[in-house]
Structure 1
Amino acid sequence: MAEQQLDLITIGRSCIDLYGEQIGGRLEDMGSFAKYIGGSPTNTAVGAARLGLRSGVLTRVGADHFGRFIREQLAREQVDTRGVLDDPERLTALVFLGIRDPDTFPLIFYRENCADMALQASDVDAGFVGAAGAVLINGTHLSRDNVFEASVRACEIARAHGGKVVFDIDYRPVLWGLTAKDMGENRFVASDAVTARLQRVLPLCDLIVGTEEEVHILGGSTDTITALRAIRAQSDALLVCKRGPLGCVAFPDAIPDRLDQGVVGQGFSVDVFNVLGAGDAFMAGFLRGWLRNEPLATSCSYANACGAIVVSRHGCSPAMPTWEELQQFLASKNPPFRLRDDAALEQTHWATTRTGDWPRLTVLAMDHRSQFEALCEKTGADPARIPAFKALALKAVDRLAQGDTGFGVLLDGRFGMRGLEAAADYPYWIGRPIELPGSCPLEFESSADVATELASWPRNHVVKCLAFYHPDDAADLRERQERQLLRLQDAARKTGHELLAEIIASRNGEVDDMTASRAIQRLYDLGMKPDWWKLEPSDSVQAWRNIEATIERNDPHCRGVVLLGLSAPEDELISSFQAAAAVPVVKGFAVGRTIFADAAERWLSGAIDDDAAIDDLARRFRVLVDAWHAAKITHGATA
């Protein structure tokens, strides 16, 4: 038996889900679509990975932008992509989906000669499949001879190496050519030919999962008990029948006379927002228990809970819960019927599904706007030259970082757009400001509707917002700014952007060891939970310990804190690093004028060229980076 490298490999559909963002209308009336990875086995692989299983996918994708997105997103989800194969002859499949009402979910499959349906037996690597604890095959992929053969080949390899075989019936009549192409939501059309084809894999299976309609097609009868008995006659597998809000019933042995005589897993009463993807979540939850040898009742509970969580959300794969989220849901005494209104659960989902990790982060901040306009006035330079200088920031960061993802840039969309565009091809953290420079009370730049503005930003741009905010501000000023910050957080969550809240209190009042922590606590009390904080430097270790305690008490999932520079001289800033580096919650810095002020002035005045400016920026940036790493090492951290 090969050493088990993965718990699960799912085989079959891997596509792009394009989900209509307007709810309650016809697919014809949808105006915009959200893009997710999709396909039942791919969704299950993501769900399993989020629950702590080591999962992988065996499929084909087009050698196109969407195929690359699938591979990149799976990697971000910690799903093994060794089995994701490029098909240069075919495009990645697409599915358009909508949410009309609790019972109507129109969808159109664009799967004509698509990449994943070209999977063949020779694509099945025995070493990859044989080292998995289980393989999952999918009913849709049994509709074509080549993918049927590939699925059977994977099952045979798994069994030969001691692995288990899971069969997700996953019946879509339209993909068997049994309905018109606009009837993708239809879940059942009787077909003896389909039944015969699906039953050919029954002797290979250890676990078979399906809805009652799917059990009907597999068993060849619209009477559920009769169908289950027909399946049992050809397979000793554990049979699990999904029953929507009623939960599920499992049959490890003979089929009784009534469904409720099996092992019943009670469902959860939640508002159904979107049924699409719930079955894939159910499968992921069940496998989290079954593959870890949990009691059957526990596996059913995991499965039903995962399904309940996903039916309450938009999308399939992005809605899959994490292990921490699942445990939180199961421990909840009285979850709201409209589960997506559970703020605590939604926060856990957001925080535990973010991708990327920054144990350290050093950022060249060149998002300044008014300061660059002032430099142009001082040097007599044309402000139209500012974008060209800002584009040098990324080059300076790359010269120093050489691909190290612990580095980043902060650039604005007004003058720094060329740098932001170029940054898409680099692995660095990207921040982008939303505030109107110098505004207090806080105002937003560009669109009056901040959500509309953020909807135009790439998802990997972290929204940075500076607020001149002191906990002792006058009530009317404080409340006005807080409304803006809460509005921004809501917009960022809905558009899928992380948020960095930059708080500068010193402009509005005296600062002591409690000022920053009091400001943060006030915002936490109002429901703010930004992904990052950007805070003023301080020489007080106690001030930083107060900040850290406040963050840990209110949001243990917070990414952390980065220091701002406030245009401090280099030696003063480096001196302040010692106090900040003493607390783990501070990950690094995002400093600008201390690094770029001299080079910008000389470049704008024509005293130095691009290469000299890049050299100067990289050199000054390196001084601060080295100083920060040295300060962290002093306190026992690794550089």
Structure 2
Amino acid sequence: MVSKTMAQQGQERGGENRLDVVTLGRAGIDLYGEQIGGRLEDMASFAKYIGGSPTNTAVGAARLGLRAGLIARVGADHFGRFIVEELNREGVVTDGVRTDPDRLTALAILGIRDPDTFPLIFYRENCADMALCAGDIDPDFVASAGALLINGTHLSQPGVFDASIKAARLMKAAGGRVVFDIDYRPVLWGLAGKDNGEDRFVADQCVTEALQRVLPLCDLIVGTEEEIHILGGSTDTLAALRAIRAQSSALLVCKRGAEGCVAFPDAVPASLDAGIVGRGFPIEVFNVLGAGDAFMAGFLRGWLKDMPLEKCCEIANACGALVVSRHGCAPAMASWDELRHFLAGQWPHRLRESAELEQLHWSTNRHGERDELTVLAIDHRSQFDNLLAELGESDEARIHHFKNLALEALHRMGAGDPNYGVLLDGRFGARALEAAADHPYWIGRPIEVPGSRPLLFEGSHDVGMTLRDWPTNHVVKCLVFYHPDDDAEMRARQDRQLLRLFDACRRTRHEFLLEIIASKHGPVDSGTIASVIDHVYSLGIYPDWWKLEPTTDAAAWAASETAILRHDPLCRGIVLLGLSAPRDEVLAGIVAAAPFPLVKGFAVGRTIFHDVAQQWLTGAIDDEAAITALGENLRVLADGWRAARSARVAA
């Protein structure tokens, strides 16, 4: 039996999963220069994001709570796969994305020179998304949505023009609405030099005539004043709007930069200010690229939910303001919770300096929520050094191989379940880390020098430079021996290190797991760990995950959970560590922690691997026996966790 797409299934269920909007057109890679304030020639490193106006808008719409889909082509290459994977992580339906075996994924290289200059180079000749054709348009997928967004770039070539028109006609026939983002880039019409991708306006009658062919199909038309000029065929904004109105009854929205926007549902009045406006947001412009895509996502969030036009304009202006304050386009898009928080508050002129807002942006837009986490922790380094010394062994390559066996044991147990995970180091576990990239498991990696107190980091003296070498899906794990009774100098030194690490994690887009062990350096009661947690948050540090010592003290778990939720209700959760305790003690700790919802599972190591490693290194067991033993030890703890969790749910 042929499986049905999500769109078909939703349509047949009476719209239960009906899409709010499908966007059509550009889907490529943005390589953003990371150095700010210089020429593109002088930029040395680039951040990779998904890009393309309709793709950015689809991401923005999904983050705002709309069910969004995309129609596009990507190459059968690494970048094409990244786009599809990232869209899926963002919740954008990709049923309409085709893979082109003959063309590469589109590419744009961008920089931020100053508030008014943003150098931009498009690599779009014979690229995948510009090969979209009418045959790629699935009528069922189009009909599964309430609205379709098309844009001006995909009217610049005959094939993509036909695809856009076909999709628009199908949407109208299905009773939906067509949205037109004018999205005028002269360079993509051959009207500007290839090194002038940032140019926004070149008058051209042929472009005007091509764009105007879609006007009778439109229900909403959005553009900047310059884009209104090209669509209307006049550099007088009011005259251009009236020329558009003569051919379309669509709602017209003119974006005016720092002045916000103005909407015209009916006749165009005598002045722009006489239209319908929403509250604007006078903030510092850091990066104008992507602001229009965010504006469109915000306007659609209001318009498709039948909000008043003033509110639609306000939401759109706010979404644009948030994006112009950040680096990148798609990753800068606001979540719905973030947007509501922004609209309800008072913020500094330089938005990116608001730690509160940036924390909300980070925590509401993370990918890959996990209800539970079963982690084999085998990131140990000094313990394996000691084991080799005890056995008189000097061949470190054997430890590399054993950690590969541990990954295989996890894989046989997890069978592709993303709720399983592994902690691996870059010294003995480098090959296993590389192999883990092909699996969907949670991956954590230690940054601390084993046993260091005060805390030291492995790698470069600049921990940020070390993390730049790590894949972004590696969660940075840091173990710190921290006790509330530590002297002031010890606390200050450790605090400085944790602040450096937290800043580096955010700048390199890595999640952060903070492991706290207090019991080795002072007495511990039911409030000890909660006190450390409160202190960490007081520094402005927000770990995505906490890894805490096992205890059967329910009051201690309650205090720790309360402390975390008081400061960060969006925290990913807590996992238990094992401290090399006997298996029965670890199981007892799991049972004690399971009643607390923020506890998501465990990350246990030596309890699982130590005896197996010793037997394997001495030749008492072979590879297969080691894999089996590791898997069995992990299974016992996993079964204990799930039994305790089920008891919590039942209660």
Distance 1:579 1:359 in 2: 18
Aligned to 1:635: 648
Return 5+ residue gaps in structure 2 as ranges: 1-10
Structure 1 CA distance for aligned equivalents of residues 441 and 190 of structure 2: 46
Contact 2:472/2:510 (8 A) holds in 1: yes
Amino acid in the other structure paired with 1:336: P
Match of 1:125 among 124, 134, 138: 138
For 1:634 and 1:253, locate their aligned partners in 2 and report how far apart those are by CA, in whole Å. Answer: 61
- Match of residue 348, structure 2, among 314, 320, 336: 336
Match of 1:347? 359
Q: Deviations over 1:502-523 (max 9, x none)?
A: 0000011000000010110011
Amino acid across the alignment from 2:344: A
* Corresponding residue number in structure 1 for 2:328: 315
1:579-598 alignment to 2 at 5 Å? 579-598=592-611
The one of 404, 410, 413 equivalent to 1:397 is: 410
TM-fit CA distance, 1:632: 1.2
The structural deviation recorded for 1:407 is 0.5
SS of 1:636 mapped into structure 2 = helix
Measured in 1, the distance between the counterparts of 2:591 and 2:633 equals 19
What is the CA–CA distance in structure 1 between the aligned matches of 2:349 and 2:264, rounded to whole Å? 30
Tell me the CA shift for residue 637 of structure 1.
5.9
How do 1:77-92 and structure 2 match up within 5 A? 77-92=90-105
SS of aligned partner of 1:528: coil
Deviations, residues 329-388 of structure 1 (Å, cap 9, x unaligned): 0000x2000000111110000001100011100100000000001110111222232111
Is contact 1:279–1:307 with CA below 8 Å preserved after alignment? yes
Tell me what 1:385 maps to.
398
- CA deviations over 1:155-178 (Å, ceiling 9, x no partner): 111111110000000000000000
**Which of 206, 214, 238 is residue 201 of structure 1 equivalent to?**
214
- Name which of structure 1's ranges 402-411 and 383-392 shifts more when overlaid on structure 2: 383-392
Match for 2:119: what amino acid? P
Which residue number in structure 1 is paired with residue 285 of structure 2? 272
So what's the TM-score if we normalise by structure 1? 0.99
1:326 Cα offset (Å): 0.3
Alignment of 1:376 onto 2:376: no
1:514 and 2:527 are equivalent in the alignment? yes
In the alignment, the residues of structure 2 paired with residue 258 and residue 616 of structure 1 have an alpha-carbon distance, to the nearest angstrom, of 78
CA distance in 2, matches of 1:123, 1:611: 49
SS of the residue 1:270 aligns to? coil
Which whole-Å CA distance do the structure 1 matches of 2:449 and 2:588 have between them? Answer: 31
Q: Deviations over 1:206-263 (max 9, x none)?
A: 0000000000000000000000000000000000000000000000000011100100
Q: Any idea what SS the aligned residue of 2:526 has?
A: coil
Matches for 1:103-182 after TM superposition, within 5 Å = 103-182=116-195
* Equivalent residue number for residue 11 of structure 1: 24
Spell out the pairing of 1:366-515 with structure 2 (5 A cutoff).
366-381=378-393, 382-515=395-528
Residues of 2 paired with 1:575 and 1:9: CA distance?
A: 51
Distance 2:431 2:247 in 1: 63
CA distance in 2, matches of 1:286, 1:575: 53
SS at match of 1:98: strand
Cα-Cα RMSD: 0.9
Would the aligned equivalents of 1:581 and 1:628 in 2 still touch at CA under 8 Å? yes
Q: Secondary structure at the match of 1:82?
A: strand
Query: Offset at 1:95?
Result: 0.2
Write the distance in 1 (CA, Å) between the matches of 2:397 and 2:141.
55
**CA–CA distance in structure 1, aligned partners of residues 598 and 585 of structure 2:** 21
Question: In the aligned structure 2, how far is the partner of 1:198 from the partner of 1:637?
Answer: 60
Match of 1:555 among 546, 550, 568: 568
Query: 1:611 aligned to 2:628?
Result: no
Q: Secondary structure at the match of 1:272?
A: coil
Structure 2 matches for 1:282-297, cutoff 5 A?
282-297=295-310
What is the distance in 1 between the residues matched to 2:397 and 2:631? 24
1:459-514 C-alpha deviation (Å, 9 max, x unpaired): 00000000000111111101110110111000000000000000000011000000
Q: Distance in 2 between matches of 1:93 and 1:242?
A: 27
SS in 1 for 2:471: coil
1:65-84 correspondence runs (5 A): 65-84=78-97
1:357 aligns with 2:369: yes
One-letter identity of the residue aligned with 1:438: G
CA distance in structure 2 between the aligned counterparts of 1:350 and 1:147, rounded to whole angstroms: 36
- 2:570 maps to 1:566: no
Following the alignment from structure 1 to structure 2, what is the Cα–Cα distance between the partners of residues 551 and 258?
Answer: 53
Q: Is residue 68–residue 92 contact of structure 2 (8 Å, CA) maintained in 1?
A: yes
Equivalent residue letter for 1:395: E
| 1:524 alignment partner in structure 2 | 537
Mapped partners of 2:30, 2:64: distance in 1: 22
Match status 1:219 vs 2:244: no
SS in 2 for 1:21: strand
**Shift in Å at residue 92 of structure 1?**
0.3
- Distance in 2, matches of 1:277 and 1:73, equals 17
C-alpha displacement of 1:405: 1.0
Distance 2:390 2:560 in 1: 39
State yes or no: 1:240 paired with 2:258: no
Q: C-alpha offsets along residues 115-157 of structure 1, whole Å, 9 cap, x if unaligned?
A: 0001111111000001100000010000011111110111111
Cα distance in 1, alignment partners of residues 649 and 66 from structure 2:
33
Please tell me whether the aligned partners of residues 72 and 98 of structure 2 are also in contact (alpha carbons under 8 angstroms). Answer: yes
* Corresponding residue for residue 546 of structure 1: 559
2: CA distance between counterparts of 1:468 and 1:488?
15
User: Which residue in the other structure is 2:33 paired with?
Assistant: 20
The answer to whether the Cα contact below 8 Å between 2:396 and 2:428 also exists between their aligned partners in 1 is no
Instruction: Please point out which of 196, 217, 241 is paired with 1:228.
Output: 241
Paired with 1:264 and 1:570, the residues of 2 have a C-alpha distance of: 65
The alpha carbon displacement at 1:22 in A equals: 0.4
Sequence identity (%): 67
Amino acid at match of 2:239: T
For the residues of structure 2 that align with 1:550 and 1:194, how far apart are their CA atoms? Answer: 60
* Residue matched to 1:575: 588
The amino acid across from 1:537 in the alignment is P
Q: Distance in 1 between matches of 2:472 and 2:396?
A: 29
The CA distance in 2 between the partners of 1:105 and 1:355, in whole Å, is 29
Q: Which amino acid aligns with 2:174?
A: H
Residue in 1 that maps onto 2:5: none
**TM-score normalized by the length of structure 2:** 0.97
In 1, Cα distance between the equivalents of 2:492 and 2:521?
A: 15
Partners of 1:624 and 1:140 lie apart in 2 by 55
The answer on whether the counterparts of 1:380 and 1:605 sit within 8 Å (CA) in structure 2 is no
Larger CA deviation: 574-583 vs 366-375: 574-583
